Amino acid sequence: MPEITWEEPFCAEGNNCFRLGTDSQGNAYIAIAGREHEPLTDTREALRTLIQDIKAGKADHLL
């Protein structure tokens, strides 16, 4: 697995923390903090689209 640069965890009070990471190959990663060895992997473009869609409210029904 390539070297992943992880961002600081995104945490909600009393919930699991999620981490986002990238590597030099253009891949993006999402993992639960402490379980970075089991990430969900896709392209940076896919991560960008996911974040934009969440910001646009397309996942609000999950809240």
Task: State pLDDT tens for residues 21-41.
Answer: 999 999 999 999 999 999 999
Predicted pLDDT at 57: 96
d(CA 51, CA 35): 21
d(CA 1, CA 13): 31
Are residues 44 and 22 in contact, defined by beta-carbon separation less than 8 angstroms?
A: yes
Could you give the count of Cα atoms lying within 13 Å of 12 in the half-sphere of its Cβ? 4
Predicted pLDDT at 24: 95
- Give me the chain's average pLDDT, please: 92
Overall pTM surpassing 0.85 (yes/no):
no
- The 10 Å Cβ neighbour count of residue 47 is 19
Amino acid at position 51, single letter: I
Mean pLDDT over 33-53 rounds to 94
